[in-house]
Amino acid sequence: MKQEIKSNIRGMFLARHADKGNGAMSQKHLGISDQGEREVRQYATRLQQMIEQSPQNAVFFLGACSEHQRTDATALAYMDKVSRGYNGREDVVVYVPKAIERWQQEKAQAKLPNMSTSIPYNNKGVSNLTLREIRDTIKETRKVIKDNPDKKVIVCLPLYLKDFSFFRHGWINPQTYDFNDYAKKILEGRVELPEQEQYGHLTRRWLETQGRLDSFKGPNPQDCMGDFEKGVGRYKRFASRFAGGRPTYTGTFNHAWEADAYATKEATEKLTPEAFDEVFGKKALATAEPVTILSNGTTKTVSVRNREWGRK
């Protein structure tokens, strides 16, 4: 019997969601705008580069999302661009489960801009797919990977993880969908700035104030990062169960602030405003902008805007 050899090679593609827009909306990936699709096309070369540089039998899982449609729409838009790039390649298999494709089509036909495509992780919560469809999706995915042991397999399987929830930490008022009072206080006098600068200031001050500013209380950065790291770990374990010991790469699609903070901590091992300045300067992640993280079991390399941080 052939002994399974587990690879220590791991990778992560972390991207902020694409532009959700107030203008022309994508007709294929409901939840993001036409501008968002253009952003994905711009940044998809980073994902394709990661795929090209991965081992020949690598497995990619794209789709750890929040409950908001713009995150899974961004994952699917990235996948659409990747599939076009690998059309006709015999050494690469690009796979979107049939149930996910069907739901995307139904969503587009019915024009349901606020409905998510993602499946709740561990089947907790509400899904747009039936239990049978979820089971079939898992079965199909496992078979595609098993049937292609010597090829790169890229799977897009949007899963909602509560650890990435947009509302869980209280950033947003669920009744009005605007910022909480803590975030509004931080952004006073800065709302006319470009969004990246607004959010860069918000993330830095969040880390600086540790979630408390005067009488205003916001999320605690340490608690948020604990949840975020838990979600990343859960999705990695989910993917590894399909990969069978092969080099495994995961893709997560999230929101500003917490994605910025996670990237800062991964790059510097610190969660401070000074560390954020080192990694991002004054500008938070742009919509659809990615961060890549590679590990070989001994060293880790974090890449942000063509700069690298390496550590053991």
Q: pLDDT tens digit string along 33-59?
A: 999 999 999 999 999 999 999 999 999
Q: Is pLDDT above 70 for 90?
A: yes
Q: Could you tell me if 266 and 149 are in contact, meaning their C-beta atoms sit under 8 angstroms apart?
A: no
106 or 206, which is more confident: 206
pLDDT in tens, 105-137: 666 665 555 555 566 554 444 456 677 888 888
**pLDDT of 245:** 93
Contact predicate 158/117, CB 8 Å: yes
pLDDT of residue 124: 47
Q: Which domains does the chain have, with CATH numbers?
A: 10-169+224-311 (3.40.50)
- pLDDT score for 113: 52
pTM, two decimal places = 0.90
Continuous H helices in 210-246? 221-243
pLDDT above 90 for 102: no
| Under 8 Å between Cβ of 128 and 115 | yes
Cα 9 to Cα 2, 40, 64, 194, 273, distances in angstroms: 20, 26, 19, 38, 31
Residue 5 — pLDDT band, cuts 50, 70, 90? low
What are the structure tokens assigned to 284, written together? 């938070």
pLDDT score for 2: 45
